[in-house]
A and B are shown apart, each in its own frame.
Chain A
Amino acid sequence: MSTALLIVQILNGLQLGVLLFLIAAGLTLVFGVMNFINLAHGVQYMLGAYLAVTFYAVTESFLLATVLALVATLAFALVLELAVFRQLYDRDHLDHVIATFGIILFLNHGVKLVWGAAPLSLPIPQALSGSVRLADGLLYPWWRLVIIAAGLGTAGALHALIMHTRIGMLIRAGATHGTMVSALGVNIRRLFTLIFGLGAMLAGFAGIMIAPILSVEPGMGDSVLILAFVVIVVGGIGSVRGAFAAALVIGLVDTLGRSFCVDILRLMMGPSPARTIGPAIASMLIYLLMAGVLYFRPTGLFPAAGR
């Protein structure tokens, strides 16, 4: 277990972390500000990836495809908000869950009808397709570094938006004193639509960034959705800062656990039982972490103010 390997695994953990953050940020905003559980958030991630593949086929430029896919994801999210979600805000959480779960089924199948069941792929932009040498024999793909940079950049921009702009102020105020904000003459419905669109776009962005690494297939959003929920629960529901910290912690714990669990267990027991128990423990780690956080800090690591 050399230092170089440890550094690479930390980078891998960071990359998973920022990806989870992009997805969880929208989820936590929508849940925190609008008190709305949106299971269909993972679908936006899937749509981002699919749209990027389609636009790439048309434009043959990754950058252009990204921009177009982001716009299309935003437009789709707004249509979805207007047509479906708007009717649900005043209902209770069970209705949210059922309706948005229905949307998952509907859109997963829709994607299959439009793009087919076969997995698609998006190539990495040529200039970024190589890898960088970190140590002897240890290469790290440029594209994963790009994901880390893009994720950290987005996190910074989001922080600036929420802490230093008027819209951000309204978002923060809406999260804690929604009725009051509304009484002061702010169109809270429009604010909700804006937040919803922003969150969906971030998830779509995550989908676009990961599409060159993973296969683009129907239902790809469902597995990340569960991780995103773990992130927002650990971070504190409604708190973007919490989502950021929790996403990085979970990304690191999951990656390091997966790569070193067996080695650590081997110090205590024979190689054969270590190989059997190690992977099982590694895949439980993040849920154990969540259980621990919920036990000691039921509101999460960085609870949003007023909750």
Chain B
Amino acid sequence: MKLVYRIFAIAAVLALAFSAAQAQDKDKLSIGLIATLSGPPAVLGQQLRNGFSLALKSLRGKLGGRDVDIVVVDDELKPDVAITKVKALVERDKVEFVVGPIFSNILQAIMKPVTEAGVILISPNAGTSNFAGKECNPNFFVTSYQNDQVFAVSGKYAQDSGIRKVFLMAPNYQAGRDALAGFKSAFKGEIADEVYVPLNQLDYAAELSRIAAAKPDAVYVFLPGGMGINFVKQFRQAGLADKVTFLSAFTVDEATLPAQQDAAVGFFGAANWAPDLDTPQNKAFVSAYEQEYGAVPATYAFQSYDAALLIDSAVRQLHGDLSNKAALRAALMKADFKSLRGNFSFNRNHYPIQDFYLVKVAKRPDGKYQTQIVKKIFENDADPHARDCPMQ
């Protein structure tokens, strides 16, 4: 008899739990945030998380009129860990959107588990060429850019500004090779040399000596994260900064500047946005971000902010009812929100069509460092891979 009672009790508890979960499902919008929050790249993940939280705060804690449940997970920059964690987001937490990640290799890993479960994946940073082209996915949206677009900015600028001889350097992996290919696609002058260094190399003494010996007009480097911090400091120490124009992609931004400081001032980068971009929304965003987190926002933060606005706009159009996935995709596709960057629309591969700028590092009067827009290089630029995308 006791056993029967016990079974009843367990069943009752389970039923309660289920109905509670369902109730929660109905009135709260559940969103999973996946970012790298450990190790040295954690700075980038924190920007992503902060940008999203700030958007949520500015919308008074609601997206599209619905209360929101945010589950933040750390991918540890390990694809296998990321897969386990997004599966938990999708299956256990029953999220309706996954926002993330920072790094391309994590994106490759989580693409299938998220999109095949019918969940919308919004990437506020990683934007690889395969998902922009042949493998484009109806459930996948990007609020950042396709990497090649950023790579081409410096090449176009070098070509147009009369720079004749450029020394190229990138880490020896796929993105590094893409970075140099992207530069060369727009630059037709002389290439002094093309150097591939091991990923995560710290000391660039040997390469800097070669640059000095080659006497180029400019260097172009793609050295994200810690690599860029070290290279920028050593480039300045080697006395090259006064003689050689410094062009780059993902090497000097607000995430690395607190460590590069004066060494990076005057160096060029390329981006779809900068903290000084002159739109009223952006000014409000930058000052709110600095007040809340005590740091200057980088692209990671603003693209994540835009991702929250995008979700907000789509949920609002559907009056909170996300049961029809086709309608949800159509609503997202409209991109009916004011992006902090100004011009923004989705291409048919769900990557943005937007403007790109040459940016330059500057020290602000308050002692902080940021990138500032020098000039617009591309207007309403669509990535070249969209033509390979079978989606209509």
Q: Which A residues fall within an 8 A CB radius of B? A: 2, 4-5, 8-9, 12, 15-16, 112, 117-121, 124, 129-131, 137-141, 143-144, 212-220, 223, 255-256, 258-259, 262, 275, 278-280, 283
Q: Which residues of A contact B213 (CB under 8 A)?
A: 2, 4-5, 8, 137-138
Contact of B233 (CB < 8 Å), options: A213, A258, A278: A213
Partner of B237, one of A124, A137, A215: A124
The one of B42, B198, B226 in contact with A283, judged by C-beta atoms closer than 8 angstroms, is: B198
Q: Which of A119, A144, A278 has the most CB of B within 10 A?
A: A119
- B39 and A117 form a contact (CB under 8 A): yes
Whether A119 lies near B172 (C-beta < 8 A) is: no
Top 9 A-B pairs ranked by shortest CB distance?
A117-B42, A12-B205, A215-B229, A119-B259, A259-B206, A139-B239, A8-B209, A131-B239, A141-B237
Assess whether B239 is in contact with A119, with CB atoms less than 8 Å apart: no
Count the B residues whose beta carbon is within 8 Å of the partner chain — how many? Answer: 38
- Tell yes or no: B66 within 8 A of A by CB: no
Cβ contacts under 8 Å, A141 to chain B: 234, 237-239
Cα–Cα distance between A278 and B206 once the two chains are bound (Å): 14
Asked whether B260 is an interface residue with its Cβ less than 8 Å from the other chain, the reply is yes
Quick check: A279 and B196 within 8 Å, CB to CB?
Answer: yes
Contacts of B215 in A (CB 8 A): 137
CB contact between B40 and one of A130, A139, A219, A262 (< 8 Å): that residue: A219
Residue B53 at the A interface, CB < 8 A?
no
Q: Are B229 and A119 in contact (CB under 8 A)?
A: yes
Q: What are 5 inter-chain pairs, A to B, with CB distance below 8 A?
A: A5-B213, A141-B238, A141-B239, A143-B237, A213-B203
Taking a contact as CB atoms closer than 8 A, the residue among B194, B206, B226, B261 that contacts A12 in the complex is B206
Are B194 and A223 touching (Cβ within 8 A)?
no
* Nearest Cβ on chain A to B225's Cβ, whole angstroms: 8
Contacts of B194 in A (CB 8 A): 275
Asked whether, in the complex, the Cβ of A223 is within 8 Å of the Cβ of B202, the reply is yes
**Contacting A16 at CB < 8 Å: which of B205, B226, B237, B255?**
B205
A214 to B256, CA, bound (A): 13
With A and B bound together, what is the CA distance between A194 and B207 in angstroms?
40
Give chain A residues whose Cβ lies under 8 Å from the Cβ of B261. Answer: 121
Contact across chains for B210 and A259 when beta carbons are under 8 A apart: yes
Task: List, in ascending order, chain B residues with CB within 8 A of A215's CB.
Answer: 226, 229-230, 233, 259
Please measure, in the bound complex, the distance between the C-alpha atom of A195 and the C-alpha atom of B39, giving whole angstroms: 31
> B40, B207, B260 — which one has the most chain A CB atoms within 10 A of its CB?
B40
Q: Give the contacting residue for A117; candidates B40, B205, B237; CB below 8 A.
A: B40
Residue B65 is within 8 A (CB to CB) of chain A in the complex: no
Q: Considering the chains assembled together, what is the distance between the CA atoms of A15 and B206 in angstroms?
A: 11
| CB atoms of B205 and A280 under 8 A apart | no
Which chain B residues lie closer than 8 Å to A220 at the CB level?
202
> Which residues of B204-263 have CB atoms within 8 Å of chain A's CB atoms?
205-207, 209-210, 212-213, 215, 226, 229-230, 233-234, 237-240, 255-256, 258-261
Q: Which residue of A lies closest to B212 (CB)?
A: A138
Picked from A138, A213, A279, the residue with its CB within 8 Å of the CB of B209 is A138
Within B174-211, the residues touching A (CB, 8 Å) are 194-198, 200, 202-203, 205-207, 209-210
